[in-house]
Chain A
């Protein structure tokens, strides 16, 4: 009952935004809220089910974003002709070197010989890799670099990119999990923090892949464009009979289309997550989380289960990332900030209630709503507070400027207050 009420309150807040601000803003919050809820579900699987501390959410979200480019954008055939083969060859060489190094490490006996062999393979291999790879990159990036300068994608429907985004993120998570899981929890945190920064660095610098800071714009959309709707005679007459302005109505209709798609994904993920949690697997996960030693004594393979849930949770974050880039219609690597994409998702999970999927969903909506609305509210507050001092005075200017930074401060306070007074979140785990 209390939970229903909490959801009703959040829904009410969004409706109030629609009534008092605009339906466009309200639907914007709803859409990002849906995406945030999916991200929070992913983190909740890792932290809530298994107690894994992943602060690399941003990296997995960005990999999902990359997937939309690799799947959705049309291929650039000149670039493929210029250097596509070399780049693929270079990547294959790189992979082969890593496999060789791993083989040497596992197969050869410990000793000086192994160390020397490793160094020779890795250092020599690095130069071979660069020799194959670099000319290809230069060739691709010089193809019409103002408009393309990258390999493009597969030109498939952008919806396909969502599961692919999940797969990319899962692959990265497997690699990182293989190395860092099984060590102590702080190390996993630092390792994920690092991998997230590296993913962003790759997106920013590998122009052949993602156009780097030149951004990929005009990603294909799974819903019609507003302009097309406005030109569509049926739509316009239908809206006019409803008494709505076709221009506003078209953008609302597009946002509703996105909302329907995102809601479908959220429901599927939520259903899967709930059934997993209720299954013997979910009980095993929680048993491992609550007492690793006891679970291990019962014959559970703790490291393997951790790897499994880490990969699953990261995949969900990747799906959400692909959805978010689809909603934005562009991939802009420079906008990925850890405070916004990693730590904010953590605030969602903890405020909502870690270990409870409904809590994560609620947290996603509520925190996103606050994130959007705190700034205008802060501006209003500062206006009221500083109304005593004269227009244009230094104090007033300073206070109005600082309203823009209310967000981070508020999120910190919300997190600390929830942790202190309701550490299990708004909807606690049962």
Chain B
């Protein structure tokens, strides 16, 4: 019994939150990795692209709410999501047209594009703050719990409860659908195949008649959609604040690099590796170990390896370890 109670505690405080967070990171890292694979630079504006798409979603949600539209138990934001995606797509396509295309034509070194993306980051950040302000926003209006801790305890008769928030369930479900659609697109459709060809060998792809501008445009569309979905899910699960989204850049990049830059499968694996390590290292294990260990060994302190404020240090440490021992990442990404 003690073992099951410990397991439930572990699931409740570690596995469930880390899975939801991992799915959000994975979606973010997929965007970073795709920009890297096709456009060949690290996009520093990705966090702010996420923030912009989420901002558009939130504004639409408020509009829908004032019209009295709702999805019942599901958050209204899901209904507003397509609008947010379209707004983000419009923004990145406009950015590509005005900013990036010029440098692509000049064939500048990748680091130049990174600096350009820094400027884009500033602009997006300013736009988001213009529209919605720098404050914390909570826009989840659906039912709060799929299973609440109390209900779970009543059903099972265990001492510990397992709570699954609906935002966590929605995150996982949406992420699975989006990732499945993305992989189907990349592996089965003609356009997806041409994108992978372009990523593998640009010159060869150009020789076989693939239009680079088309590939780039489709990449931006996918990236904007992924970013908006990731941002909205993160916002539903936690809350929306432009600055937090900027800070997500670090775990997202860590996920993409750990998985191997340019590899979509790696981005997903990296997202979960980073999320699980962050949660497990900053979680206080006292309760779980109290159930699992014999009474004599029961810990008297919190058994928290690092305080939660150091979660950046965790993604960073994993990043450094992977870079030192396997510079191309777990899934053999590119190393230009």
Q: Which A residues are closer than 8 A to B by beta carbons?
A: 51, 53, 55, 126, 179-180, 183-187, 189-191, 193-195, 197-198, 201, 204-205, 337-339, 343, 346-347, 350, 401-402, 405-413, 415-416, 419-420
CB<8 Å pairs between A and B, sample of 8: A186-B114, A189-B42, A194-B250, A201-B309, A402-B129, A408-B122, A408-B129, A413-B123
Contact of B246 with A191 in the complex, beta carbons under 8 Å: no
B332 to chain A, nearest CB (A): 15
Bound Cα distance A189, B307 (Å): 25
A420 to chain B: which residues have CB within 8 Å? 99, 102
Contact of A193 with B120 in the complex, beta carbons under 8 Å: no
B243 to chain A: which residues have CB within 8 Å? 337
Q: When A402-B129, A416-B99 are in contact, do A186 and B313 touch as well, CB less than 8 Å? A: no
Contact of A197 with B118 in the complex, beta carbons under 8 Å: no
A411 to chain B: which residues have CB within 8 Å? 122
Q: Which 3 A-B pairs have the closest CB atoms?
A: A409-B126, A412-B122, A412-B123
Contact of A415 with B126 in the complex, beta carbons under 8 Å: no
Contact of B309 with A204 in the complex, beta carbons under 8 Å: yes
Within 8 A of A (CB), among B74-131: 99, 102, 110-112, 114-116, 118-127, 129-130
In the complex, B66 has a CB within 8 A of chain A: no
| Interface segment, one of B169-177, B191-199, B316-324 | B316-324
Contact of B305 with A416 in the complex, beta carbons under 8 Å: no
Contact of A412 with B312 in the complex, beta carbons under 8 Å: no
| Cross-interface CB contact of A346 among B115, B134, B257, cutoff 8 Å | B115
Contact of B123 with A186 in the complex, beta carbons under 8 Å: no
Bound Cα distance A412, B44 (Å): 13
Q: When A193-B249, A339-B125 are in contact, do A185 and B111 touch as well, CB less than 8 Å? A: yes
Known: A191-B323, A198-B313, A350-B115. 19 other contacts (CB 8 A): A126-B305, A184-B336, A185-B111, A189-B42, A190-B254, A191-B319, A191-B320, A194-B250, A197-B312, A198-B310, A205-B310, A338-B246, A347-B119, A408-B123, A409-B125, A412-B119, A413-B122, A415-B122, A419-B116
Q: Mark B31-58, 1 if CB is under 8 A from A, else 0.
A: 0000000000110100000000000000
Bound Cα distance A53, B44 (Å): 13
| Cross-interface CB contact of A408 among B116, B125, B133, B307, cutoff 8 Å | B125
| Cross-interface CB contact of A409 among B44, B122, B313, B315, cutoff 8 Å | B122
Chain B, Cβ-Cβ closest to A52: B111
In the complex, B156 has a CB within 8 A of chain A: no
Contact of A405 with B129 in the complex, beta carbons under 8 Å: yes
Bound Cα distance A248, B150 (Å): 65
Chain B, Cβ-Cβ closest to A411: B122
B312 to chain A: which residues have CB within 8 Å? 194, 197-198, 201
Contact of B310 with A194 in the complex, beta carbons under 8 Å: no
B134 to chain A: which residues have CB within 8 Å? 405
In the complex, B247 has a CB within 8 A of chain A: yes
Chain A, Cβ-Cβ closest to B251: A194
Contact of B323 with A187 in the complex, beta carbons under 8 Å: yes
B121 to chain A: which residues have CB within 8 Å? 343, 412
Chain A, Cβ-Cβ closest to B261: A186
Within 8 A of A (CB), among B265-310: 305, 307, 309-310
Contact of A201 with B313 in the complex, beta carbons under 8 Å: yes
In the complex, B201 has a CB within 8 A of chain A: no
Contact of A194 with B42 in the complex, beta carbons under 8 Å: no
Contact of A412 with B126 in the complex, beta carbons under 8 Å: yes
Bound Cα distance A197, B319 (Å): 14
Contact of B114 with A343 in the complex, beta carbons under 8 Å: no
B320 to chain A: which residues have CB within 8 Å? 179-180, 191
Q: Which B residues are closer than 8 A to A by beta carbons?
A: 41-42, 44, 99, 102, 110-112, 114-116, 118-127, 129-130, 133-134, 243, 246-247, 249-250, 253-254, 257, 261, 305, 307, 309-310, 312-313, 315-316, 319-320, 323-324, 327, 335-336
Among A126, A193, A416, the most chain B Cβ lie within 10 Å of the Cβ of A416
Contact of B253 with A190 in the complex, beta carbons under 8 Å: yes
Among A183, A193, A401, the most chain B Cβ lie within 10 Å of the Cβ of A193
Chain A, Cβ-Cβ closest to B321: A179
Contact of A195 with B119 in the complex, beta carbons under 8 Å: no
B315 to chain A: which residues have CB within 8 Å? 194
Contact of A412 with B120 in the complex, beta carbons under 8 Å: yes
A339 to chain B: which residues have CB within 8 Å? 122, 125, 246
Contact of A416 with B119 in the complex, beta carbons under 8 Å: yes
Bound Cα distance A51, B109 (Å): 11
Bound Cα distance A401, B257 (Å): 39
Contact of B323 with A201 in the complex, beta carbons under 8 Å: no
Bound Cα distance A339, B118 (Å): 10
Q: When A412-B126, A413-B123 are in contact, do A194 and B111 touch as well, CB less than 8 Å? A: no
Contact of A205 with B305 in the complex, beta carbons under 8 Å: no
| Cross-interface CB contact of A194 among B307, B316, B324, B335, cutoff 8 Å | B316
B251 to chain A, nearest CB (A): 10
Bound Cα distance A37, B246 (Å): 26
Chain A, Cβ-Cβ closest to B335: A184
B152 to chain A, nearest CB (A): 34
Bound Cα distance A407, B129 (Å): 11
Among A51, A204, A346, A412, the most chain B Cβ lie within 10 Å of the Cβ of A412
A405 to chain B: which residues have CB within 8 Å? 126, 129-130, 133-134
Bound Cα distance A124, B324 (Å): 22
B325 to chain A, nearest CB (A): 10
A407 to chain B: which residues have CB within 8 Å? 126
Bound Cα distance A186, B117 (Å): 13
Contact of A194 with B254 in the complex, beta carbons under 8 Å: yes
| Cross-interface CB contact of A180 among B116, B247, B307, B323, cutoff 8 Å | B323
